[in-house]
Amino acid sequence: MADYREFAPSRRFRSNVALSPDGGFVAYAANPDGPHNLYVTPVSGGQARRITDYTEHSVRQVAWSPDGRSLLYTADFHGDEQFQLYLVDAAGGVPRRLTDAACQHVLGSTIYEFRDISPFTPDGRSVVYAGNDRDAAVQDVLVQDLETGVVRRVESVPATRLHAVSVSPDGRWLLTSGMHSIADTDLGLVDLHDPDAPLRVVTAHEDKRLHVAGPWTDSGFLLLHNTGREFLALGSYSPATGVVTESTPPWDVEQVVASGAVRAWTVNEDGLSRLFVTRDGEPVALPELPSGVIASLAAAGDVLTFLFTTGSRPTEVVALDLATNELRHLTSSAPSVACVEPQLVRYPTHDGREVPAWLYRPDGDGVRGVVLSIHGGPEAQERPQYNYTGLYQYLVSQGIAVLAVLAPNVRGSTGYGKTYQRLILHDYGGDELGDFEHAVKYLHGLGWVDPARIGVWGGSYGGFAALSCLSRLPSLWAAGVSVVGPSNLLTMVRSVPETWRASKAESVGDPDTEADFLLARSPITYADAITAPLFVVQGANDPRVVKAESDQIVAALRGRGVDVRYDVYEDEGHGFANRANELQVMSDVAGFLVAHLGG
């Protein structure tokens, strides 16, 4: 019998890679032998050079200086997400710490940034970033002079998480992003030539709209927005014209980059990324890419780099040379195992909608067990990627099918229009529960599924959803797994990071005025109904879903004698940065599911 670790890739990457200004090198964070450290590799191919040697800290974001001599990055300790900024020579050396406040510092638009990050002023003298050092509940934008250490601050307010995006090519304008909620953002400008200039919002609006900043142009900057439409369109902004829409595909434009005459962007078509490139406005012919997902697209001259993954191949750093039309994999992380390609299916749910889902089915005949895999977010998307470091492929190899319900490709998922995404707002533990129930009904209608061997698993929101399924639809499940999943919405909303609390009160519920509502939607309220074996995993330093969330549900179940396994990782947070921990967690989850769902 194969072991899960045979299916695990040799490393996992953080969400952004950075291309050097000359297009010659790419920097990224990966964890081949411990936490995520910083690496640099030539775009032409060759051995990667390790820049940092952390054993307790983990690198998250990275960006090049304009002269290509230095790297700016963020790192936290044991998953606490109190990210600090560091500057290091691109050839290696001792990093210089730029921040010291015990708070979160962020580059780009979010800590999850999968787009190109440009935090330097064009002369390389200053860096722009965000932090909540002034007030734990307020995230300001800061501009730090690297020579003098002097910091200029642009203050925000509690209901808006302000981010520093980039600085205009002439060094005058700081582009900011203000996040009111995951579905509502604004872009603004600050005049860096005027020390007293206030932030000026340039995409002001009344209802909820998304505005995502792109690269600078000669007259302004590119952006993505969903004003007056369901999906993110590609557009531009200039002081003379305001926002102008340029491309409106019937799906979300995910990201856009530009370098000289080259412009490149991707479109998320039903979960798959499609890459488009123009030069001087004319389409560029591209090599055919496998069906998969592109993230962290970057451009320098005729070179594009990005992270690329498919349902059957792990994430790799990839370079595309537009001059030669050559696609090169700069990393090799894939295990030598046979994998299946996922199938896109749709099933009807309780209100007439259809829910898209990815089905990973074992080869051969016979009745199988199934895992319903619910992704996090909930405003995120299950896509055909090598998810959970090979867990799906391992389960399939053991004869267990995986139905990765796009769960928020149940309601609440991104990628299917803003109306569908907003269905989850103020409805956690509500109508999406019917989507999970109808996923099981769909499975019952497949002749090869054993109805007595259906399990449910997920992480973060997916963990909450798994606990909701087990406690509120208890007859449907043979086993369940919750990884860093909230069990009590009331205590969860009160304990998230302070900069999140205003938006969580709106999107989930206000703990001061809606306590009964939140408890009525919480798995802990229905814990007495759980009968299926449960496995709970938690990071002790998790700042988003604190350990008490898992403690509550475990204590309630153990008090009734229910079979529940509880593993706590003392050196992890919301997820698993250390490779040894990650492999152990996924190996244990895989073993638990096979034991309870296998034939």
Q: In the chain, how many domains are there?
A: 1
Structural domain boundaries, residue 465 = 343-597
Answer whether residue 96 is part of any domain: no
Answer whether residue 380 is part of any domain: yes
Tokens for 471? 């406690």
pLDDT tens, per residue, the chain with 599 residues: 679 999 999 999 998 899 999 999 999 999 999 999 999 999 998 999 999 999 999 999 999 999 999 999 999 999 999 999 999 999 999 999 999 988 999 998 877 656 778 999 999 999 999 999 999 999 999 999 999 999 999 999 888 999 999 999 999 999 999 999 888 999 999 999 999 999 999 998 888 899 999 999 999 999 999 999 999 999 999 989 999 999 899 999 999 999 999 999 999 999 999 999 999 999 999 999 999 999 999 999 999 999 999 999 999 999 999 999 999 999 999 999 989 999 999 999 999 999 999 999 988 888 899 999 999 999 999 999 999 999 999 999 988 777 543 334 899 999 999 999 999 999 999 999 999 999 999 999 999 999 999 999 999 999 999 999 999 999 999 999 999 999 999 999 999 999 989 889 989 999 999 999 999 999 999 999 999 999 999 999 999 999 999 999 999 999 998 889 999 999 999 999 999 999 999 999 999 999 999 87
Chain centroid, CA 1 distance in Å: 33
Answer whether residue 92 is part of any domain: no
Answer whether residue 466 is part of any domain: yes
The CATH number of the domain holding residue 561 is 3.40.50.1820
Answer whether residue 488 is part of any domain: yes
Distance in angstroms (rounded) separating the CA atoms of residues 113 and 66: 20
Answer whether residue 187 is part of any domain: no
Q: Which residue has the tokens 């009525």?
A: 520
Residue 150 CA: distances (Å) to CA of 74, 125, 126, 254, 306:
19, 11, 10, 35, 34
Strands (E), 507-595: 534-539, 564-569
Q: Which of 28, 21, 32 is nearest to 60 (CA)?
A: 28
Q: Which of 408, 410, 397, 461 is nearest to 438 (CA)?
A: 410
Answer whether residue 494 is part of any domain: yes
Answer whether residue 416 is part of any domain: yes
3-class secondary structure for 399-466?
CEEEEEECCCCCCCCCCCCHHHHHHHCCCCCCCHHHHHHHHHHHHHCCCCEEEEEEEEEEECHHHHHH
| 0.85 exceeded by pTM | yes
